[in-house]
Structure 1
Amino acid sequence: MPAPSLPARLPALGIGWRHPHYAALLEQQPALDFIEVHSENFFAPGGAALAVLREGREHYPVSLHGVGLSLGSAAGIDPWHLDQLARLVQTIAPVRVSDHASFARGPGEHANDLLPVPLTHAALDALCANVARVQDRLRRPIAVENLSAYVQWRHADMDEPAFLNTLAQRTGCQLLVDVNNLCVNALNAQLRGAAGDPLDHALRWLDAIAPAHVAELHLAGHVHCGDIVIDDHGSRVVDAVWTLYRHALQRFGAVPTLIEWDTDVPALDVLLDEAERARAVARQTLTTEALAA
């Protein structure tokens, strides 16, 4: 009998490269497919931070993940911020560039938070215009991430998957699906009185996203704080998020996957262990899919 077929490929696996692990990662050079950094931490021209990133780029492909573009702002994109990002992209030649479907700025104001945009046609128009401006400047598509949102707008013209699918269709951008954010939002909806199982809600969200748009998946930990669940990126990935990750792989295929850990950052080996677990989950999931095909 011929050997059972295996998946043609597995997802590229990476970790968020944060300051506590700069030296350890460069010294150990673990088996990772890419590393991801927060773009804004490397905007300063020259200096030690950029030198470290350049050194990391010699060993790994780099994904630039931003938190400050404010893609959903009706006030548009901050020209200074876009200038710094464009310079960093030219310097590092990243494998991906991403930011969030959120806003953080208005005329003369800037919030230190990722605030959700209303799911309306007007907000979608503003988001599309901003994404198009960024892509035109960078001369490449960017990936836009779904948000963990702690407030909701009263009015919506569509649900979030339809909003993001339309964004990708109109602008040619990609989507970064944060699986942990789906779990956090579903759990918080339950705490606010929403009916149904949170996991089922998150699974339906994944089913509504067009696979062709998805460029990356994020996995992280969250914390229950009684009346709210916080996306703190401060612990290991929980079982429910692993379940959603399996479904995302079945839905989207071998999409590059990142382990995020931004608070209470542990030893590098802990992040590498989480990345290896993600690799094992992907291998098992995609092999099962291949055998069933």
Structure 2
Amino acid sequence: MPAHTSNDADAPEVGIGWRAPHQRALLEQKPALDFIEVHAENFFAPHPSARAPLLKARESHDLSLHGVGLSLGSAGGIDPWHLERLAELVAETGPRFVSEHASFARGTWQSRTVHAADLLPLPFTREALDVLCANVQRVQERLRRPIAVENLSAYLCWPEADFDEAGFLTELSRRSGCHLLVDVNNLVVNALNDQRAGRIDAPLPAVRRWLDAIPPDRVSELHLAGHHDRGDLVIDDHGSRVPGLVWQAYRHAVARFGPVPTLIEWDTDIPALEVLLDEAATARRLGREASRASAVERIA
């Protein structure tokens, strides 16, 4: 496995998402990143040429496989074909991280299995938690390793709830043994939309309360991204630099969880690779500062 680039114990390891326009530069320049993340489904094709660039990248960087199609919250269970393709990819590439979302995208409609083109939120009920735990455990048993499960940006909520989101995910982690991937941008997007709907007074305190409700030992990774403010609604589009409010929330997350590995996501309006590397450097710097400040407070 490649050596990590973060030699400072107070600084988080930082990675970026692999996107097609940057493939050649990543392979040739081998920038100072600790890991790169890919969407697992993009590499399900079994032909060797489809995975060759990924295997080449593994020579210089750790890999993270981030799924978007397992539908962990589906009451109909996990799609066996999808799980087998993921298991094959994990076995061949030996990723450092494997992650998915606390969502569903697969269900039954008029006696047929249908797939949504989105990550749909779950009701935070005991019944939904039972389904999610069972599916996560099945995936982990097949992969023979724990996975990390990510919180969503959601534009609707179910009226039924036995938990708040942080409590729901904490119980999922406790029961299934999975890790949690905390997407800080998703928290900010939800809080901004809650503020505009009149459900909260200010976004940053709400995000901090959410982070403080999660046990630090369950968090294995953080995600950062940009979002689009339409005025009436904030959209999690991953199409711009990380905004200031997300950086503020990130500092609190590092103070809470420690300098856990951090990913810069950018999926639309892809910029030059140098822009992502600059964002990664900012994450490392701010993470180091937050980690050291937290250590000083604990000593004091």
Name the TM-score class by shorter chain: over 0.9
Moved more, 124-133 or 148-157: 148-157
Structure 2 counterpart of 1:189: 194
Could you tell me which runs of 5 or more consecutive residues in structure 2 were left unpaired when the two chains were aligned.
Answer: 1-7
In the TM superposition, what whole-angstrom CA distance separates every residue of 1:63-99 from its partner, at most 9, and x where no partner exists? 0000000000001000000000000000000001000
In 2: Cα distance, 1:215 partner to 1:28 partner: 28
* Residue equivalent to 2:205: 200
C-alpha distance in 1 between matches for 2:249 and 2:50: 35
Aligned residue type for 1:46: H
Q: CA offset at residue 160 of structure 1?
A: 0.4
CA deviation string 1:92-121 (max 9, x = no partner): 000010000000001211101000000000
- Residue by residue over 1:126-184, the C-alpha shift from the partner in whole angstroms, topping out at 9 and shown as x without a partner, is 00000000000000000000000011101111100100000000000000000000000
Question: What is the CA-CA distance between 1:49 and the residue it aligns to?
Answer: 3.1
Q: Deviations 1:32-61 (Å, cap 9, x if unpaired)? A: 000000000000012433111111111110
Q: Is residue 104–residue 121 contact of structure 2 (8 Å, CA) maintained in 1?
A: yes
- How far apart, in 1, do the equivalents of 2:281 and 2:9 lie? 19
Does the CA contact (< 8 Å) of 2:200 and 2:206 recur in 1?
no
Question: Which residue number corresponds to residue 220 of structure 2?
Answer: 215
Query: Within the alignment, does 1:248 sit opposite 2:249 as a pair?
Result: no
Rounded to whole Å, the distance in 2 between the matches of 1:142 and 1:109 is 25
Q: Which secondary structure state, in structure 1, belongs to the residue aligned with residue 149 of structure 2?
A: strand
What is the aligned partner in structure 1 of residue 30 from structure 2?
29
* Cα displacement (A) at 1:220: 0.2
Residue correspondence of structure 1 range 254-269 to structure 2 within 5 A: 254-269=259-274
DSSP-derived class of the 2:89 partner = helix
RMSD: 1.0
Q: Which runs of 5+ in 1 are unaligned?
A: 1-6
The amino acid that maps onto 1:196 is D
Count of aligned positions: 287
User: How far off is 1:8 after superposition?
Assistant: 3.7
Q: Distance in 1 between matches of 2:200 and 2:27?
A: 48
Q: What's the TM-score, normalizing by structure 2?
A: 0.94
For the residue of structure 2 that corresponds to 1:59, the secondary structure is coil
* 2:276 pairs with 1:271: yes
Pairing 1:74–2:75 present: yes
The one-letter amino acid paired with 2:152 is: L
**Equivalent of 1:109, from 107, 114, 117?**
114
Matched, 1:15 2:20: no
Give me the whole-angstrom Cα distance separating, in 2, the residues matched to 1:116 and 1:69. Answer: 14
Q: Give structure 1 regions of 4+ aligned residues with deviation exceeding 6 angstroms.
A: none
TM normalised by structure 1 equals 0.96
The structure 2 residue matched to 1:133, chosen from 138, 142, 150, is 138
Q: Percent identity?
A: 65
2:105 counterpart SS class: strand
1:231: which partner in 2?
236
